[in-house]
Structure formats: structure tokens, C-alpha cells
Amino acid sequence: MNLNLQSSRDNKSSETPVQSGARGHGGSIDHRAMCKLLEAGHASDVTSYARSIGYDGKRAVIVLDGKVISHRWKDWFHFCEMCRVRARRRLH
């Protein structure tokens, strides 16, 4: 008997469901999973703040643990800085 094997139920973790992206776009979170994270209060919709600093994209900006999960898991602070840079470029 091999005691190192665990049942599939024990191997499941609390990871967020991720779909592999097409053409190397990285992982993107499933829309239903994103809605559940928002409803449970684990993720935050920060679209209005992102728009105030220069974001002009179509998608909502959803943040979980410092990562923008709606935009290929980008770092939140880097995402904000890029919004500001793009906004400055549009002004000049």
C-alpha cells in the first residue's frame, strides 16, 4: 500500500479557476469565477478609480491580492502606473 498517494479530493486547493489564454496571452480568469469572487468579497471592482487615473479600456478592472485579475494578472501598482503614463501621453 502506497501511503504517499492522496485522493483527488485532498489535492484540490482553493486556487482560482484559470483558463489558458490563446496565442500566449497568459491565463485569464473565468467570468463566472470572477463574479463569485466579487460577490464573496474576495476581489474588488476598482474600475471607477482606474478611470480616474487614466484607464480608458472597455473591461472592468478587478483586483485580487494586489493583482489585476481581469487584465492577465498584472501587478496593481504597475497597472496604475501604466494608466498614468498613457494618460500623460494623451495630454501631450
Half-sphere exposure (Cβ direction) of 52: Cα atoms closer than 13 Å: 4
Could you read off the pLDDT of 77-92 as tens digits, one per residue?
A: 999 999 999 999 998 8
Claim: this prediction has a pTM higher than 0.95: no
CB atoms < 10 A from the CB of 57, how many?
13
Query: Across the strands, what pairs with 62?
Result: 45
pLDDT attached to residue 51: 96
Domain locations along the chain: 26-91
Pair 28, 71: CB distance under 8 Å: no
